[in-house]
């Protein structure tokens, strides 16, 4: 009896160890599809109708505060003309995804021993020849153009962080909600986070008051939500849709549905289409 129990415990432990074992893929290919979807036109129309005038007022107040902080008199006539001719048309395009046609994007990772080749395509006939080559040991990126099957280094290279961090982030696990995606065991997590509007514009933030920030907090720091199905079987720090270290250090997402917390009725979906790695 003891031997039987011992074998059961040993088998269970070995099985669990195998289930939790991660591997870092060295070679192969991973392809994700990313697309934006309007799932509720009525919600989208209502959201735009409510928020567009608030955004215009916010812009006016921000312009006035920045002008006064620099000792300038706000030019109301020029401001209103700029809003009418430039800001409103641009705002319509930004807020309403139905005004622009954006085909689904294919994000292709080709893994080799020392490098990763990353490319974005919108269709099999897409002639985009831009390829980002990532050094696997250093994480450094270089952009190339594929010309007659030869990679030619671009003169201008812009690097983005492989992984970023967000202090205003919460992760809730639902391990009982599972899926098998392309042969990998996945479970559900929900990620909520805020993205400060002024994060890329630190110099602007210094010129607006705390009262302004508090008044428009829901617009300047919207809370987004992402529903992810993640696996713990893969350890890979490159992903086309999410680069948060809080996520990629623990999981690898194979399916994501994301709402930005700002405009209702719209979602982005990222799903793995192909994964052949070893």
Identify whether 259 is part of a domain. yes
The 10s digit of each residue's pLDDT in 204-238 is: 777 888 899 899 988 888 899 999 999 999 999 99
What is the C-alpha separation between 210 and 194, in angstroms, rounded? 18
Does residue 127 form part of some domain? no
Residue 71 has which token pair?
A: 């000792």
Model pLDDT, residue 159 = 57
Number of domains present in the structure of the chain: 1
Q: Is residue 149 part of a domain?
A: no
96-138 confidence digits (pLDDT tens): 999 987 889 999 999 998 999 999 998 877 878 899 999 988 8
> What integer pLDDT is reported at residue 2 of this predicted model?
38
Residue 269 CB-density burial (10 A; 0-12 exposed, 13-18 middle, 19+ buried): middle
What is the pLDDT averaged over residues 66-76?
Answer: 90
pLDDT at 12: 39
Q: Per the domain annotation, does 13 fall within a domain?
A: no
Tell whether 61 is covered by a domain.
yes
Q: Is residue 6 part of a domain?
A: no
Name the residue range of residue 253's domain. Answer: 28-105+160-277
Domain for residue 11, yes or no? no
The pTM (predicted TM-score) of the whole model is 0.83
- Residue 21 C-alpha from the chain's centroid: 27
Give pLDDT tens digits for 11-34.
Answer: 433 434 444 567 899 999 999 999
pLDDT greater than 50 at residue 8: no
Q: With respect to residue 100, please indicate whether it lies within any of the assigned structural domains.
A: yes
Which of the residue ranges 124-138, 144-158, 246-260 has the most confident prediction, judged by mean pLDDT? 246-260
């Amino acid at each position: 009896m003891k031997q039987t129990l011992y074998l059961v415990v040993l088998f269970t432990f070995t099985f669990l160890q195998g289930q939790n074992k991660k591997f870092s893929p060295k070679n192969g290919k991973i392809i994700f599809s990313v697309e934006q979807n309007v799932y509720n036109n009525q919600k989208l129309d209502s959201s735009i109708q409510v928020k567009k005038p608030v955004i215009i007022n916010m812009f006016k107040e921000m312009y006035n505060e920045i002008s006064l902080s620099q000792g300038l008199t706000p030019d109301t006539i020029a401001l209103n003309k700029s809003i009418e001719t430039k800001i409103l048309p641009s705002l319509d395009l930004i807020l309403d995804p139905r005004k622009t046609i954006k085909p689904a994007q294919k994000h292709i990772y080709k893994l080799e021993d020392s490098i990763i080749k990353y490319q974005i395509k919108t269709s099999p006939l897409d002639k985009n020849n831009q390829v980002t080559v990532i050094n696997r040991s250093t994480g450094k990126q270089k952009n190339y153009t594929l010309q007659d099957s030869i990679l030619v280094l671009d003169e201008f290279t812009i690097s983005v962080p492989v992984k970023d961090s967000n202090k205003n982030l919460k992760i809730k696990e639902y391990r009982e909600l599972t899926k098998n995606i392309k042969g990998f065991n996945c479970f559900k997590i929900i990620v909520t986070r805020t993205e400060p509007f002024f994060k890329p514009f630190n110099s602007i933030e210094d010129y607006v008051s705390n009262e302004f920030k508090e008044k428009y907090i829901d617009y300047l720091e919207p809370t987004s939500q992402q529903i992810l199905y993640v696996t713990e079987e893969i350890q890979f720090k490159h992903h086309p849709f999410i680069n948060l270290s809080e996520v990629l250090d623990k999981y690898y997402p194979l399916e994501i549905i994301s709402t930005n917390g700002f405009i209702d009725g719209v979602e982005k979906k990222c799903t793995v289409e192909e994964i052949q790695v070893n």
